[in-house]
Amino acid sequence: MLAFQTANSCLLIIMTKHFLASAAAIILCASASAEITVNYPSPTPTGELIVERASIASVASARRQSDLKIVSDTIKTEGRISSSFATPDDTDYRFELSFGKDNQADFYTRPGESLTVNVTQFNPIRFTVTGTPLMDGMSQIMTEAIPIEEEAIEIQKGLKPKENFPALLERFVAVYTNFIEKNPESPAAVFAMLSLEPENFQKYESMVAPTAALSALYPLYEQKRAQVNAQMEAERRRQAMSSGNVDAPAFTLPDLDGKEVSLSDFKGKWVILDFWGSWCGWCIKGFPALKEAYTKYQPELEVIGIDCQEPVENWKAGVKKHQLPWVHLYLAQDRQTELLQAYGVQGFPTKVIINPEGKIVNITSGEDPAFYGQLAKFMGK
């Protein structure tokens, strides 16, 4: 079953995932439904199509996968070159459709619209979606991005040097920003905004603001804007907190044995707070380097792992599986917002360096090798 991701996560990884495929389903029509016709080359890779839909409003409001109210249909495509389907009611929908691995699609519908999806190839899938200003504009953006996407894949495969990637990323961002500059009133400009990093989002926000509320994607735009504002505020907080003049926020949390442990217990030592979870792939990838630093700088340094966003049993199993030798504390769900905001945590892993006086000197989001150079510098090693 194809995982139905939130829009932001899908839209932010378009260089490593193919967009906008096509699909077919036979669904009972309602009077205000959207009508979709799909034309595709035959045969299809699997002989069937999986169609998943969720309202755009639910995609925007969902905090986790389980919050999405997804409806799924399977359509037989063998021997067919086209299909038609309609949305079941007068709701704005996001569809995710799959002809199998590497042949997946996202598109959006509003009541009363009529869209045509033309698939020209599979493996990888190539297509256009036309019939509405939103999908016309999105198809234009995606078509311009295809050569960049293909070059990125070549870099990933080692066929082109990694040094080409920064310039490639600039070209990729330019596809979106150029569209916004030339078409600020287009509903697809709102789509383009969803793919921008915070600085560019804030730069172009005023351009699309007058008409953004009219787009079907406005709930996702509002969600993105809230996230950008929170991220920028967190970054400002992180910079202020990393000055070496701010006391690390105090906390007391239970360890693996249920004993209450406080940050103040470690005053006089260098401390790394590692906000992590056993579900976090990048957290796990960073453990070897963290273990090396822990061994190298003991007893001057202590590492405190603070587990987030998972059940207690998963946390304990993760500590055991990865053989993590430092202090481990558990951050319960009802306390997460307060402590994560206090430390400006926006993603995982986040590592915080605290000096022996209890002041924060560094906050690093993500797994960044430069973190350990900073640690050595601060400790005078």
Nearest to 195 by CA among 210, 173, 168: 173
Structure tokens at 1: 């079953």
Any residues with CB less than 8 A from the CB of 338 and at least 6 apart, and which? none
13: helix, strand or coil? coil
Contacts of residue 225, Cβ cutoff 8 Å, sequence gap at least 6: 201, 205
What is the C-alpha separation between 237 and 218, in angstroms, rounded?
Answer: 28
Say which residues have a Cβ less than 8 Å from residue 215's Cβ, sequence separation at least 6: 134, 187, 190, 191, 221
Selecting among 10, 29, 280, 283, the annotated active-site residue is: 283
Is position 29 annotated as part of the catalytic site? no
Q: Are 188 and 138 in contact (CB under 8 A)?
A: yes
* Token pair of 129 as six digits: 């979606």
Alpha-carbon span 121 to 123, nearest angstrom: 7
Sheet holding 35-39, edge to edge: 82-86, 35-39, 114-121, 126-130
Q: What share of the chain is helix, strand, coil (3-state, %, to 5)?
A: 40, 25, 35
Task: Map tokens 């630093």 to a residue.
Answer: 293
Give the torsion sign (CA, 371, 8, 225, 54). Answer: negative
Distance between CA 372 and CA 376 in Å, rounded? 6
DSSP 255: B
What's the CA gap between 233 and 381, in Å, rounded?
33
Asked if residues 87 and 109 have their Cβ atoms less than 8 Å apart, the reply is yes
Question: CA torsion sign, 137 to 140 to 143 to 149?
Answer: negative
Q: How wide is the angle at C-alpha 97 spanned by C-alphas 96 and 100, nearest 5°? A: 130
The tokens for 352 are: 């915080």
Residues serving a catalytic function are 283
